[in-house]
Amino acid sequence: MRHDAVEVIAAKRDRLELSDSQIDWVIDAYTRGGVADEQMSALLMAILLNGMGRREVSRWTGAMIASGERMDFSGLSRPTADKHSTGGVGDKITLPLAPLVAACGVAVPQLSGRGLGHTGGTLDKLESIPGWRAGLSNQEMLAQLESVGAVICAAGDGLAPADKKLYALRDVTGTVEAIPLIASSIMSKKIAEGTGALVLDVKVGTGAFMKDLDAARELAETMVALGQDAGVRTVALLTDMTTPLGYTAGNGIEVAESVEVLAGGGPADVVELTLALAREMLTGAGRGDVDPADKLADGTAMDTWRQMIRAQDGDPDAPLPTAHETHTVTAPATGTLTRLDAMAVGLAAWRLGAGRARKEDPVQAGAGVTWHARPGDPITTGQPLFTLHTDDPDRIDRAQTSLDHGYDITTDNNPTSTPYQPTPLIHDRIG
């Protein structure tokens, strides 16, 4: 059926449900250049203001998938499962998770991205490993999934090209926050990727895109429904991003921390979340009988990591890049660290050169922030609290300014202080 852009815009403006044919037409026409940016901008704003029902979001996502290719892993000798995180500070979970799940007998086709703003990108982290390459052909990806069981690489231009255009437009039209558009953007790529099971790590807190638990739950429920409608076994965990994960935020320093986890150590919260997501992925792929903790303990996950890095031309034994300059921030008081704000840490890492303001900006492989205590830890005046890493010493002052109000130390001699109350790492499970 033939439609026109004004008709579709007016329908959503007037709070009407868009028909399947209207949705199919407008996504296809916009992808091919038949709908102007200003017209699609008006439609996106109408969606932000008036929302979409489950059928509309499902059809919108399907139309975005139909704009490009869809990968097929049915020929692999093992089932597939994937994970998507909505992004956070110190969120290096993909790095140990993919080889861990592969070591348990489930293939992980992890298409990842680069960072923008205060949240680090998985590809930026891995590119700090000498020689490692993110760009693989579909044939290379399939071969690596069969031989190694895990691949982390850049998504090709053929997956959901409609999303690429829409994402760029949302970024400059104030429509990024629309939950139907966030959900369809994420899920169109993940469904087109062809995985059999999908686990969503939806972050909530100061350092996350979703600051509010109710909004995060709505996003998770919308994405789980989209996955189910598309025949992909999908669950979501709502996880905390008020405090950054682990003890590092950056690129090379997060790789080093991930390797610690694979070696059987690492920060307790990173290990906890990695195992929780691994168990969900294995259950979704029909391998819930395997305990991933065993594969961390016996070194199998580390072996798979090394194979995965080598398969993409990286050297797992090469020293990771280090920053030319470091600066230590010491504790101003004795007491208990009761707050460490993820957003403040993320902004500091970004200002040090670990992230980018525009997609074309370079990043520093050695830049970032290391923190030496977590909320609940005792603190002594003068002890190292943060180490700032950068190649450019002129960046240090602005990074330190980001941290100035990003933590609280409750002193022992303050009778009105509130005792530290730990926050659960996993708030809820959806699906």
Q: Quote the DSSP letter at residue 395.
A: G
Residues 190 and 301 in one domain: yes
- Same structural domain, 309 and 378: no
For the beta carbon of residue 79, count every other beta carbon within 10 angstroms: 19
Question: Tell me, what's the pLDDT at 116?
Answer: 61
In the prediction, which pLDDT does 351 show? 95
CA distance 277 to 166: 29
Give the CATH number for residue 108. Answer: 3.40.1030.10
Which pLDDT score is estimated for 416? 55
Examine residue 428 and state whether it is found in any structural domain, yes or no: no
**Structural domain boundaries, residue 37:** 5-51
- The torsion angles phi and psi of 387, rounded to 5 degrees, stand at -120, 125
Q: Per residue in 101-115, pLDDT tens?
A: 999 999 999 988 776
Whether 181 and 277 share a structural domain: yes
In a domain, 420, yes or no: no
Question: In total, how many domains does the chain have?
Answer: 3
In a domain, 304, yes or no: yes
pLDDT of residue 121: 86
Q: Of 271, 292, 318, which closes a domain? A: 318
The segments of the chain whose pLDDT lies below 50 read none
Residues taking part in catalysis? 84, 163, 170, 185, 189
For residue 89, what are the CA distances in angstroms to 178, 189, 249, 275, 420?
A: 22, 23, 6, 19, 22
Q: Please choose, from the candidates 202, 172, 20, 211, the residue with its C-alpha nearest in 3D space to the C-alpha of residue 93.
A: 202
pTM exceeding 0.75: yes
pLDDT in tens, 196-222: 999 999 999 999 989 999 999 999 999
